Structure 1
Amino acid sequence: MSDKPGSKQSAFDRRAFMAAAAGSALVPMTARGAVEDARPPAAQDPSLPVDVTLQVNGKDKRLSIDARTTLLDALREHLKLTGSKKGCDHGQCGACTVLVDDRRVVSCLTLALAAEGQEITTIEGLATDDHLHPMQQAFIDNDAFQCGYCTPGQIMSAVACVKEGHASNEADIREYMSGNICRCAAYPNIVAAVKQAAPEILKG
Structure 2
Amino acid sequence: MKLFIGLLLLLIPTLNYGYKKNELPYPIAILKADLIVDGTITKVSKNEYEFAITQFVKGKSDSKIKVSIWKEWLCDPRIKELKTGQRLILLLEKTTHNNFATINNSTGELYIDNNSFINIFLPKDFSTPEIFKKGILMFIETYKFYGDSNDKFFQNVYFECNKSIFEIYLMKQNNSTFNFLVNYTNYFKIKEIHPVFQIKNLQIFG
Give TM-score scaled by structure 2 length.
Answer: 0.29
Larger Rg: 1
Give TM-score scaled by structure 1 length.
Answer: 0.29
Considering fraction of residues, name the structure with more strand. 2
